[in-house]
């Protein structure tokens, strides 16, 4: 969840939200529960998996 990522990384949650939006736009992640307004969960797409292997 974005709030947990922000807490763990000690980064403002609005910054995490912006990064997640950009990753979605590049089809690197997808939301697995888009129907909820709060507490959304994300996972890497196949494309995101390939990119992460090269990091």
3-state secondary structure 3-53: HHHHHHHCCCHHHHHHHHHHHHHCCCEEECCCCCCCCCCEEECHHHHHHHH
> What mean pLDDT comes out for the span 27-32?
96
Point out which residues pair with 42 in neighbouring strands.
31
- Decide which of 28 and 6 is more confident: 28
**Model pLDDT, residue 44:** 97
φ/ψ of 43, rounded to 5, equals: -145, 160
pLDDT class for 39, splitting at 50, 70, 90? confident
Q: For residue 1, is pLDDT > 80?
A: no
Neighbours of 28 (CB within 10 A): 19
Residue 38 structural domain = 2-53
Domains identified in the chain, total number? 1
């Amino acid at each position: 969840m974005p709030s947990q990522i922000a807490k763990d990384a000690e980064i403002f949650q609005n910054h995490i939200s912006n990064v997640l939006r950009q990753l979605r736009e590049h089809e690197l992640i997808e939301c697995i529960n888009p129907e909820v307004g709060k507490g959304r969960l994300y996972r890497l797409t196949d494309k995101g998996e390939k990119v992460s292997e090269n990091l």
